[in-house]
Amino acid sequence: MRYLWTEDTGAGFHFWKLVNQLFFDNELVVESKGSNQGLLDALIDLDIKDDDKYYIALIMGKVLWNILKKTEVS
């Protein structure tokens, strides 16, 4: 199976489920781990099967904010 893990909850989690629906035809199992620590804990406990694939989706707000701020037109 293919999994998409995110730390997002609420609207962010809904966004990743929508990405899965629109771009991957619901082929991924989208799971929220609730936080960055939750992602780390899940990775530590991970038992990968032969054909399993895991993708981790993060939106780094501060990095995105800095990029947008640098492209701001005065």
Domain range for 15: 2-70
Task: Please state, in angstroms and rounded to a whole number, the distance separating the CA atoms of residues 64 and 47.
Answer: 32
What pLDDT score was predicted for residue 12?
A: 86
What pLDDT score was predicted for residue 36?
A: 85
Tens-binned pLDDT, residue by residue, of the chain (74 aa): 999 999 988 888 999 999 999 999 999 999 999 998 899 999 999 988 889 999 998 776 666 566 666 655 44
What pLDDT score was predicted for residue 74?
A: 46
The alpha helices in 1-74, defined as continuous H runs, are 11-24, 36-44, 61-70
Number of domains within the chain: 1
Q: Which two tokens stand for residue 61?
A: 């707000």
